[in-house]
Structure 1
Amino acid sequence: MQNTHQAIDLPSLRKQKILLLLERDGKVTASELVDHFAVSQDTIRRDLGELAAAGLLQRVHGGALPRPKDTGKDFFTRVGETNEVKRHLAQLAADRVEDGQIVLFDSGSTTLQIAQSLPRSIRLTVVTPSPMIAIALADHPHVKVILAGGQLNPATVSTSGQEAVRLIQSIKADLLFTGVCALHPQVGISSLHFDEVAVKQALLDSASQVVAVTMADKLGAVEPFVVGPCSRIHTLITEWHVQGIEAYEQLGLEVLRVEIE
């Protein structure tokens, strides 16, 4: 008889599934994972050890817990911590927007800052899964805002689900400002939240040009859920002092590094 777990026997896929179970249930036990995947105790111990070493979960006796919450700040905390560097990067991004464009805005504190940096006179159609961005642009008289509906994630203050994905897939946009949880040259774009992945992938697929604006601490980082390779981004705007930026340039990204005086 064919093994029903055959499709998830590859270690990388199994570890991805472990993270999904952890996000859903709030904890995992080694014994349950052994039964779920039909593998040995040693295999599960090794998987949990590798995930813990990568900072993706907290190893405890008999299983694992989510990593401490202070590794990922909530949306309103991040908005409140906006500094002069982020404002400057956001303004540089906003200056790339042209009248008459259809622009996608991913959720995030930086993309919100970009939206807030747009002049009130600009004429645009904006599509976003972020209610905060929709509200920020509501007083722009020549901006038509389309809010992708769906289930709201309180941690990210963004919508997800098939309704949001279908709407975004129906759009052919000129430009996307993608949110960046983590960006690694080899791993690619990754997210802390599984429910964001399908929406972020739909946004990437629907834009002719993709711009990522991020502070230095997001570069070289990895989160549990992979959205896509770095090559999906056309332009990366970041801080001047970032180390290892050549790795992104070698992947074909246009990299703009901003020095703040």
Structure 2
Amino acid sequence: MHDHSASELPSLRRQKILLILERDGKVMASELSQHFAVSEDTIRRDLAELDNAGLVQRVHGGALPRPKDTGKDYFTRISETDEVKTSLAQLAAGRVKDGQIVLFDSGTTTLQIARSLPSDISITAVTTSPMTAITLAEYKGIKVILAGGQLNLATMSVSGHETVRLLQSIKADLLFTGVCAIHPEVGLSSLYFDEVPVKQALFDSAAQVIAVTTADKLGAVEPFVVAPCSRVHTLITERHLASGSAEDYRRLGIEVEQLQD
């Protein structure tokens, strides 16, 4: 049944889109267009407005609910115990071998990987995150290099010319990259413009790139594109994805490891 009355009031239509999203867990522009009897362009504008207001996360062809941690400050996010992130971090930490040079990107999941390393591991760790550096410093066998630069208070990571210059001087075995959003066609993207050159330098400095992320970041798109998916060698994520399937990433040549139920 078409809801013609809503097509005359964008604000009412957008409220109804949020209700449908809450009910279904995902909305597609094509389906909403038929439901409200308006053009897909109109729906895309609605989704853009809702995204700008922080109420939805736009994905290819539609929208998802905003990830749980959006809008919370860094310290709130790291104080919340998240079983899924812990399990993902433990899988990722198992990839580290003695003697490696390992890059740790910013992000709460990457911090959790630092917490999950074997107590007797012996590596050189390089990070853009002061919190991760402090965590890594608790291990006797880890030599820690902390990149300098301007601190972004939202991500608690550093950026700028000094950060990039240091990262460019390192040839690492492994990178654990934080994921703001990853989409099979768009690639990895970030909410923060200043993160882009830092993340690109991290990618360029690592022989192997491992992206570790909860399922809500897959199929998502943020404003600033960092790199194509082809730059990722391994994706560690949940068993069930909110958008698309693991095959979307395997087709791109990425090894995908998923948590078992």
Judge conservation of contact 1:52–1:58 (CA < 8 Å) in 2.
no
**Aligned equivalents of 2:238, 2:200: Cα separation in 1:** 25
**Aligned equivalents of 2:46, 2:156: Cα separation in 1:** 27
Unaligned 5+ segments in structure 1 are: 1-45, 60-66
Shift of 1:259: 1.4
C-alpha spacing 1:51/1:233, structure 2 compared with 1 (3 Å) = farther
- Counterpart of 2:101 in structure 1 is 102
Shift of 1:54: 7.5
Which residue identity does 2:106 align to in structure 1?
S
- Counterpart of 1:147 in structure 2 is 146
Shift of 1:96: 0.5
Instruction: Give runs of aligned pairs for residues 117-156 of structure 1, distance below 5 A.
Output: 117-156=116-155
Secondary structure, aligned partner of 2:88: helix
- Counterpart of 1:57 in structure 2 is 52
Judge conservation of contact 1:235–1:255 (CA < 8 Å) in 2.
yes
Unaligned 5+ segments in structure 2 are: 1-40, 55-65
- Counterpart of 1:248 in structure 2 is 249
* TM-score, normalisation: structure 1: 0.74
Shift of 1:56: 4.7
How many residues end up aligned between the 2 structures?
206
Judge conservation of contact 1:56–1:224 (CA < 8 Å) in 2.
no
Shift of 1:193: 0.7
Secondary structure, aligned partner of 1:86: helix
Dislocated runs of 4+, deviation >4 Å: 49-52
**Aligned equivalents of 1:176, 1:169: Cα separation in 2:** 13
* TM-score, normalisation: structure 2: 0.74
C-alpha spacing 1:205/1:55, structure 2 compared with 1 (3 Å) = farther
Shift of 1:53: 2.2
**Aligned equivalents of 2:128, 2:46: Cα separation in 1:** 30
Shift of 1:72: 3.9
Percent identical pairs in the alignment equals: 68
User: What is the aligned-residue RMSD (CA, Å)?
Assistant: 2.3
Shift of 1:76: 1.8
Shift of 1:177: 0.1
Secondary structure, aligned partner of 1:255: strand
